[in-house]
Structures are given as C-alpha cells and as structure tokens.
C-alpha cells in the first residue's frame, strides 16, 4: 500500500474560491468611488467667485465697454498692432540667429570663443532691458559719428528698439539653444561621425531636429514674452500698440477703456501664439516617450 501510495500521489485539494471566503453576499459587493467632497466644494466656490468677478467687470459702467468697441479696430490702434507684430517677429528671428551663434561659441573647445560668448550672455542678462534701450537711445553722447554718419540720423527710435531688443533676446536665446543641443545624446553624434557626416550636416540632420524638442517650449515662452515686452519701447516714443493707445487717451482722457483695448489685443495675439506653440511642440514630440 505504501508503494502504491508513493507511485500514485493524491492530487492536492482544490483551492477555495474567493467568493467562498467572502460569504454568501460576496456576489453583491461593488466598488464605490471615493467621494471627494472637499474638492468639489472648493471647485464650486471658485466658480462662484469667478462668476461674481466676471459679472462685476461686465456690469461696471466705469470700464466703458462701448468705448472699447469703438476704438478696438481704429486705424491708429491697428497701425500700432502691426508695428508690434513686426517688431516681435524681427527681434525673434535676429535674436535666435545671434543666439545660435553664441551657443555654438559657448560649446566650442576654444577657450577664447567660450569666454567671449559667456561674457556676452552675462552682460546682457545682468542689465535690465529698459537700461539697455535708454543706453542705445543716448549712444550719440558717446559716439556722435559712426563711419562719417551722425548717430542721431542713423539710430532712430525704431532702429534703437530693434538693436536693443535683439541684443537682449540673443543672450536668452543662446542659453535656450545651448540647453537644447546638450539634451541630444552623445551616442547620436558619435553614430553620425562614424557614418562620415560633416559637422554642418551632423548639426542640421541629427542634432537640431532632436534638440528642437527641448528648444520649442522655452522659445515659445520667449516669443510671447517678447510680444508683451515690446510695450517697453513706448518709453522711447516708438508707436507700438501701447504708445498708440496712449496717444489717444492723452487726447480724450479715456484712460481705462483705451488700456483695455491694448489688453484685449495682447490677449488675443498671445492666445493665437500659444495655439501655434502647442502644434509645433506636438510636431517635434512625435516618437518620443509619452506621446501618441
């Protein structure tokens, strides 16, 4: 008997089902979601406060929304808006062109080029943009003539604005581009070198497309910041959007509605730029982890 028992071992007992452990009412149990009463109460309170604030803005006659509608699309305001958009686009293109050059110099193994790039970024990031604009606006006190041309005639308010904003933005663009280049894995560059690709082709075909994933988000923030930052050029009498509405309310004394005109236009343009930034980010994020 013992031999038969060893030859034919008995099968282990069947495990008890989970329902049998839970009792006869186990089939009627259901999962109940956690009630987040505090969060919903806070959300309702926030919505109520927002509704009250919006109602006070709309129904307050001091905002003079009818005046805002009258001046929103006037020729003077649209000319100022056009100059603001043109100045923003030009400064961003020139700033990133110079910033890319500075980033390449910063990553160079040549100590002199590295030091020059670092010094430029340090200088223009250490001084306020308003101080830089006023300095360039008064450059004639230091150099009355450049190449035989009087600086008063050479550097008008718009030219000063372009120069000052471009040099300022280039310092920040250099750090954005440098960070994007450093985000590319070293193995990608070594693989391109092993294929015999030249330095320019490696940068254009391998480094830059991958670096754009890290460059686009801060570059989009810089673009929106530059758009709003152009309002500072009104201090040197450049007729941008803010200066245009200032000319109007200095004549009509309707300060609040004219400032609302500029505010709404800035909000509209920045919203459109944010949508464009989102689309570009999705384009360069294709194939990366966490994206569809």
Q: What is the pLDDT of residue 277?
A: 87
Separation CA 180–CA 208 (nearest Å):
8
DSSP state at residue 143? -
DSSP state at residue 150? E
Residue 131 lies in a domain: yes
Q: What is the pLDDT of residue 15?
A: 54
Residue 179 lies in a domain: yes
Helix/strand/coil for 8? coil
- What pLDDT, in 10s, does the model give residues 194-220? 777 777 777 777 777 788 888 888 999
Q: What is the pLDDT of residue 12?
A: 56
Number of domains comprising the chain:
1
Quote the strand ranges of 90-240, DSSP E.
145-146, 149-150
Residue 97 lies in a domain: yes
Identify the burial level of 178 via C-beta atoms within 10 angstroms of its C-beta, where 0-12 means exposed, 13-18 middle and 19 or more buried.
buried
Residue 41 lies in a domain: no
Separation CA 290–CA 184 (nearest Å):
18
pTM: 0.77
- What pLDDT, in 10s, does the model give residues 118-159? 999 999 999 999 999 998 888 888 877 777 777 776 778 898
- In order of 44, 127, 130, 189, the CA distances from 242 in angstroms are 37, 23, 16, 47
Separation CA 145–CA 94 (nearest Å):
25
Residue 262 lies in a domain: no
Q: With contact defined as beta carbons under 8 Å apart, do 212 and 220 qualify?
A: no
Which string of DSSP letters, residue by residue, matches 176-200? HHHHHHHTS-HHHHHHHHHTT--HH
Residue 173 lies in a domain: yes
Which residues fall within 8 angstroms of residue 72, CB to CB, at 6 or more apart?
261, 264, 265
Question: Residues 90, 92, 93, 98: what is their CA dihedral angle, to the nearest 10 degrees?
Answer: 120
Which residues fall within 8 angstroms of residue 116, CB to CB, at 6 or more apart?
105
Q: What is the pLDDT of residue 121?
A: 94
Separation CA 223–CA 87 (nearest Å):
11
Q: What is the pLDDT of residue 2?
A: 47
Mean pLDDT value across residues 257-261: 93
Per-residue pLDDT for 45 more than 50? yes
Banded pLDDT at 79 (limits 50, 70, 90): very high
Separation CA 87–CA 84 (nearest Å):
5
Per-residue pLDDT for 286 more than 50? yes
Separation CA 151–CA 95 (nearest Å):
23
Residue 228 lies in a domain: yes
Give the domain extent around 101. Answer: 85-237
Residue 44 lies in a domain: no
Q: With contact defined as beta carbons under 8 Å apart, do 18 and 26 qualify?
A: yes
CATH number at residue 207: 1.10.3720.10
Q: With contact defined as beta carbons under 8 Å apart, do 84 and 223 qualify?
A: no
Beta bridge partners of 149: 146
Q: With contact defined as beta carbons under 8 Å apart, do 136 and 160 qualify?
A: yes
């Amino acid at each position: 008997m013992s031999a038969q028992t060893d030859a034919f071992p008995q099968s282990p007992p069947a495990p008890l089902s989970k329902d049998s452990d839970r009792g006869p009412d186990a089939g009627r149990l259901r999962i109940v979601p956690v009630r987040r009463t505090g969060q919903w109460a806070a959300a309702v309170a926030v919505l109520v406060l927002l509704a009250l604030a919006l109602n006070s803005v709309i129904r307050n006659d001091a905002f003079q929304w009818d005046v805002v509608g009258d001046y929103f699309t006037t020729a003077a305001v649209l000319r100022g808006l056009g100059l603001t958009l043109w100045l923003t686009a030009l400064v961003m293109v020139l700033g990133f062109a110079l910033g890319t050059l500075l980033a390449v110099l910063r990553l160079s193994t040549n100590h002199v080029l590295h030091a020059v790039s670092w010094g430029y970024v340090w200088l223009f990031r250490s001084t306020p943009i308003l101080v830089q604009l006023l300095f360039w606006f008064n450059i004639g006190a230091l150099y009355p003539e450049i190449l035989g041309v009087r600086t008063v005639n050479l550097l008008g308010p718009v030219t000063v604005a372009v120069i000052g904003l471009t040099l300022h933005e280039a310092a920040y663009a250099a750090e954005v581009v440098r960070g994007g280049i450093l985000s590319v894995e070293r193995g990608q560059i070594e693989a391109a070198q092993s294929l015999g690709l030249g330095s320019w082709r490696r940068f254009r075909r391998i480094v830059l497309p991958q670096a754009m994933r890290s460059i686009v988000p801060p570059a989009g923030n810089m673009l929106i910041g530059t758009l709003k930052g152009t309002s500072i050029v009104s201090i040197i009498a450049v007729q941008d959007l803010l200066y245009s509405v200032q000319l109007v309310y200095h004549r009509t004394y309707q300060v609040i509605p004219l400032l609302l005109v500029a505010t709404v236009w800035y909000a509209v343009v920045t919203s459109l730029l944010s949508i464009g930034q989102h689309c570009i980010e999705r384009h360069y994020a294709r194939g990366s982890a966490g994206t569809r």
